[in-house]
Structure 1
Amino acid sequence: MARRMHHRVGRFRHRRPDQLVYGIKALSAALIAWTFAGPVAPDGRAYVAVATALFMANASTVYRSVTNALQSVAAKIVGLLLALTTVRLLGPTAGAIAVIALLTVLAGPRRAADGRLQVASTAVIALAAMAGDPMGGLVAPVLQTLIGAAVGIAVNALLLPPLHVDESDSAVRDLARTVGELLHDMGIGLAQGELRSRAHGWLYRGRQLEKHLAFAQEQVRRADESLRWNARCVTHARHGDVTYAGVFDALRGVSLQVRGIARTLVDSTYDYRPDRHLGLEFLDRYAETLQLAGAAVRGLVDDPRPADGSTSPRERLQKAIEEALAWHETMTDLVGRGTLTRPGVWHVYGSLMTDMERLLADLDYMGARRGRGQPGMRSWISAM
């Protein structure tokens, strides 16, 4: 219980500066929108402009604030025009409301339901204003929306525009550690002869990687989006290096192979015939390859700078990949010469070797990219 409370307090302290930034941006957007939209608002009360500015200023990214603004303005214009048309034809009656509801709910695809509801709510709210002054009731909300959207976008883009590279960094690192730990545990388990007792647990953990992949993918996508039209990183072009998008792609391929290996190992435990058992020599060599692959996966997200003159994580990564590739070549040669092959299990050897070959290919490709000196995320951020 105490540990959980400590974790929550730590999260609150970490989020407090972000909440302060959001508060400053919201206050600035509200005051600026109220000032600029006051002359075109009824009685100087620019509530529509303020609401629109607050929504745009606190969008998760600058790109999102622009797209939300375009959608909001378009929806309000359509809604106001719809209200004006129904008022002209039916007057401000219940029939006009019914027509608006039917048109907006039934028209368009289901995926655009939010936009249609925004059109409907704008049209219904505008009915009362347009009853006495149709043109004034149409023009004022549109102008307020435009002013509020412009103010919100400007505040979001110029006042500490949001970046989400830290979240992307953390998600990809956690994914790499999870995959690396699973590979390491599989290798240790095979080396200790615990295939039958632990294989199902490995498969379960392999399937759970899908949740980690989905979360990391969303964080990488969000980080990439936060770099678009962002004044804090306009001079930097290597977005993929910053958000670890390339590392995530490699980890996604590695995760598929890890699940394939776990499934093959589980399937091999169901066959109790003596001639269908994997050879001990093969399992020992495969176990060491899995451990080396786990170390290589964890090395993908290590800090590239060496500590205290020791071997850098990048060099350890390359060494782990080279050793794993050497073991792979040795096992492939043994299988090819028939040394490890036993009657009835050649297909199991082939499946395990194919998955390992693909896994190592993904790691080797990413290791080669890092070896060419592409900057890591931390070094990129520190250069800003």
Structure 2
Amino acid sequence: MHDVREWTAALKRLLMRYREPVIVQTLRSATAATIAYVIALRLSPEPAPLTSPLTALLVVQVTFYATLTNGIRRVNSVVAGVLVAIAFSLLVGLTWWSLALLIVASLGVGHLVRVDEYVAEVAISAMLVLGVTTVGFTAWARIVETLIGAVVGMACNLLLPPPVWVDKAGESIEDLARRVRQLMLRMGEEAAGSVSWQLAAERLHEARRLDQHIAQVDASLRQAEDSLRLNPRVKEGLLHRVVLRTGLDTLEICTVVLRVLARSFTDLAKARGSEDLFPKETGATVEQLLSEIADAIVSFAVLVTADLSANAESAEGRLTAELHTAAGTRDRLAELFQEEVGKDWENWQLMGAVLTEVNRIIAELDTEHRTRRLLEELDRVSREQRARLPRMSRLRERLGVQENLWRNRTGFGERSP
């Protein structure tokens, strides 16, 4: 009975995960490859048309935008390879030196037709076709199978829409913000007491290691941006892409400033020697300020990843309150630093640097600053789209798509910058 309950609980957990992007992508790929193989069995002259499911598997990428672009490039690469093979078979046939020339010519043609990562596929297709006797028969079969796989792969995206990876990107952004918060809290606790320069240097190394997490978040965000392009389930994909991208840019700036702050703490610890990093009252104020800024960074990440809903409004209100509190603590710290400079004028530059760095983070998280940054980025992206696709832009304007985007953009700027 106990085993049955465990098996039932495991089955429920599995069913609850059916909407996860990885599971959805696996099912989509397997479905597309199977359908492509069944169709190719009826249309291709080959007894085992495995090129068709292989093409479908490669074409059905994570996002619809990637699927469309990869499908076109893969079809171009295979057709180009087949044409090169036919030309070589008519002129020289298959020898060791003709194979070498075939590979060189195929790779060159691949670069000319701009198939990007499928350049090697041109040479592979050419070698497979040239290596058989009935060149015309094999060339036709390979083209048919490739077209079947590409068409099935793109059709699966219309019938089975690809997952939207925005939630995963949002989770990675919030995870980065929490890592920054934990580091700031540790730095604040150590600033309130005596800390060796070696320990302060260790915090500096931790701040530098945050760059690795930023790279991971950037990769996750690029995947989310691709999943929003040409996705029939997503409206206003441009707005979502810009919101997430500008949010990550702000967190990256805060991370860089935090690294500089850790550098200032390390230099100050070296100058202090065995003494406390700050006087008791000043150290307690620094700890409080870093704690308040750390909470504001997490609230900012929640605001960036929240939908245009009550959650975004509450996150904005919480962020505004936390920044207001942090600004008051910063002003009190500035007064304490001013008094401290009169007693320890040799380190006034380091104390001034600490005040400048925390003030920069507060300014970057400010809601009005984010509103301006967001609107500027939307303007820039819109101008680039109009310059790159003028006909599409005119069509969007006639259909009213651009007006809706600007209307929603204005509302977003007012509610959740």
Following superposition, the deviation at residue 273 of structure 1 comes to 7.3
1:322 CA displacement: 0.9
Matches within 5 A, 1:1-384: 13=14, 18=20, 21-22=24-25, 24-34=27-37, 36-38=39-41, 40-43=43-46, 45-57=48-60, 59-104=61-106, 114-129=117-132, 131-134=133-136, 136-194=137-195, 196=197, 198-234=199-235, 238-240=239-241, 244-272=244-272, 281-302=281-302, 312-332=314-334, 342-365=344-367, 369=371, 372-374=414-416
CA distance in 1, matches of 2:118, 2:413: 48
C-alpha distance in structure 1 between counterparts of 2:43 and 2:271, whole Å = 79
Change (3 A) 1:22 1:174: closer
Give the superposition deviation at 1:114: 4.6
> For each residue in 1:324-377, what CA deviation from the matched residue of structure 2 results, as whole angstroms up to 9, or x when unmatched?
2223334446656885573221221232222212111111147865894239xx
Higher mean C-alpha displacement, 346-355 vs 168-177: 346-355
Q: What residue ranges of structure 1 are gaps of 5+ in the alignment?
A: 1-8, 306-310, 376-384
What's the CA shift for 1:219? 0.9
Question: How far apart are residue 29 of structure 1 and its match?
Answer: 2.1
Residues 206-241 of structure 1: CA deviation (Å, up to 9, x unaligned): 112111111111111111111111111136653137
Provide the C-alpha distance between the structure 1 equivalents of 2:73 and 2:25, rounded to a whole number of angstroms.
22
Which region of structure 1 is more displaced relative to structure 2, 19-28 or 72-81?
19-28
Q: Deviations over 1:140-166 (max 9, x none)?
A: 322321232121011023303221122
TM-score between the two structures when normalised by the length of structure 2: 0.73
Task: Decide whether aligned partners of structure 1 residues 113 and 245 sit closer, same or farther in structure 2, where only a CA change above 3 A counts.
Answer: closer
Following superposition, the deviation at residue 300 of structure 1 comes to 2.0
TM-score normalized by structure 1?
A: 0.79
* Distance across 2 between alignment mates of 1:276 and 1:21: 55
Cα distance change of structure 1 residues 250 and 152 upon mapping to structure 2, 3 Å threshold: same
2:355 aligned partner, one-letter code: M
Task: Please tell me whether the aligned partners of residues 335 and 341 of structure 1 are also in contact (alpha carbons under 8 angstroms).
Answer: no
Q: Is the 8 A contact 2:193 2:276 kept in 1?
A: no
Secondary structure of 1:229's aligned partner = coil
Which amino acid in the other structure matches residue 155 of structure 1? C
Q: Report the 3-state secondary structure (helix = DSSP H, G, I; strand = E; otherwise coil) of the residue aligned with 2:123.
A: helix
How many percent of aligned residue pairs carry the same amino acid? 26
Change (3 A) 1:85 1:368: closer
Q: Provide the secondary structure at the position in 2 that maps to 1:234.
A: coil
Unaligned runs of 5+ in 2: 1-9, 308-312, 372-411
Mapped contact 1:52–1:145 kept (Cα < 8 A) = yes
1:147-200 CA-to-partner distances (Å, cap 9, x unmatched) read: 321210110233032211221121111111111111122112212343646312
Matched residue SS, 2:271:
coil
Partner of 1:379: none
Q: For 1:32-51, what per-residue CA distance to the aligned partner results, in whole angstroms no more than 9, with x for missing partners?
A: 43454455421565432222
CA RMSD in angstroms comes to 3.6
| In 1, Cα distance between equivalents of 2:280 and 2:149 | 71
Structure 2 distance, partners of 1:54, 1:128, is 24
Counterpart amino acid of residue 329 in structure 1: D
- Structure 1's 179 and 235: CA in aligned 2 closer, same or farther, altered over 3 A? closer
- Amino acid paired to 2:134: G
Tell me the secondary structure at the aligned position of residue 161 of structure 1: coil
Contact 2:228 2:237 (C-alpha < 8 Å) held by counterparts: no
Whole-Å separation in 2 of the counterparts to 1:46 and 1:364: 59
Superposition deviation, residue 96 in structure 1: 2.3
CA distance 1:360–1:91, change in 2 (3 Å): same
Point out the more displaced range, 39-48 or 220-229. 39-48
Following the alignment from structure 1 to structure 2, what is the Cα–Cα distance between the partners of residues 266 and 233?
47
